[in-house]
A = this chain, B = another copy of it.
Amino acid sequence: MPPPRPARTRTGRPPVTSRAQIMEAARRLIDRDGWEKLTLRRLATELGIGTTTLYHHVRDKEDLMVQLITDHADRMPHPELPDNPRERIIVAAIAIHDALAALPWAAEALTVDGFLGRLGDTALWHVETIVAGAVAHGCTPEQAVDVFRNIWYYTVGEILVRARTANHRHLDREKLLNQQKLRFDNRDSTQLPHLAAIGNQWPTLASRDIYPQGLRAFVDGLLSHATTDTAPLSR
C-alpha cells in the first residue's frame, strides 16, 4: 500500500494542523478550563491558528463534539466477556456507561441524531455484544434491538442527569451556596406524605450510584418480558 500522499506530489501551502492535533487540543482545553469553554475561537487560539482554518477539519461545532466522543469511544478497551448472555449484556452496558461518564460534557452531542451510526467498529462491538447477548438469551432480533435501545435510554439519562448534579467543579462558589438543595421537608405532609417523610434525606439518597443495580434490574425485566411474551408484537 503506497503512502496516500507522496511528498513529491504535494503542492501548495502545507497544513498547519491535523485532525489529531485538533482533537488533542480540544481535550486539553476541556480538561483545563471546563467544557463550557470549548469554542472554535478558543480552540484555534490554543492551536495558534486562525479560527476559520478549523472549518477544513470539522463541519461545524456539533461535528467537533461528535468526533471528540466517537474518538474516545473507539479507544474503549474490550472487557472480558462472561459466559452467561445476561452477564455479557451487563458488562457491555457498564463499559459503555463508564466510557461516557468520563465525558460528562458530552450531553449535547450524545443525543444527536445518528450518533450511534458514527461510532467506529470498536465502539459498536459493545452494541453488538448487547444485541448478541439478548439473542443468545432467546430474544428475536427485533426484541434484541429493543433491549439495546432501552438500555441506551437508561444509560444516557443517568449520565446526563448525574453529570449536572454531581460535577460542580466549574461552578462559581456563590452559585453553589445559593443553590437550593433538593429537599422535601417543607412540603405538605398530608398531600405528599412519603416525600415529606424523606424530607432533607433526599440529597443523600440521590447521591448514591445506583446505575449497576438499576441496570441489572432492567436487564432482568427486559429479558423475562421478551421471552415470556408468547406472541411477539405484531406488525
Contacts and interface: CB of A to CB of B under 8 A. Distances in A.
Given A141-B197, A217-B221, 20 more contacts: A112-B164, A114-B165, A114-B179, A117-B180, A121-B192, A124-B187, A128-B191, A128-B193, A131-B194, A132-B194, A146-B208, A146-B210, A152-B161, A156-B157, A156-B161, A157-B157, A160-B160, A214-B222, A218-B222, A220-B225
> Interface residues of A: mostly helix, strand, loop or mixed?
helix
B153 A113 contact: no
Interface of A: 107, 111-114, 116-118, 121, 124-125, 127-128, 131-132, 135, 141-142, 144-146, 149-150, 152-158, 160-161, 163-165, 179-184, 187-188, 191-195, 197-198, 202, 205-206, 208, 210, 213-214, 216-222, 224-226
Contacts of A217: 150, 218, 221-222, 224-226
Contacts of A218: 150, 154, 217-218, 221-222
A63 to B, nearest CB: 12
A165 to B, nearest CB: 5
A220 B205 CA distance: 22
Contact of A153 (B111, B158, B219): B158
Contact of A161 (B111, B158, B192, B206): B111
Contact of A221 (B112, B113, B198, B221): B221
B182 A117 contact: yes
Contact of A154 (B144, B153, B195): B153
A182 B125 contact: no
A192 B128 CA distance: 6
Contact of A107 (B111, B146, B205, B214): B111
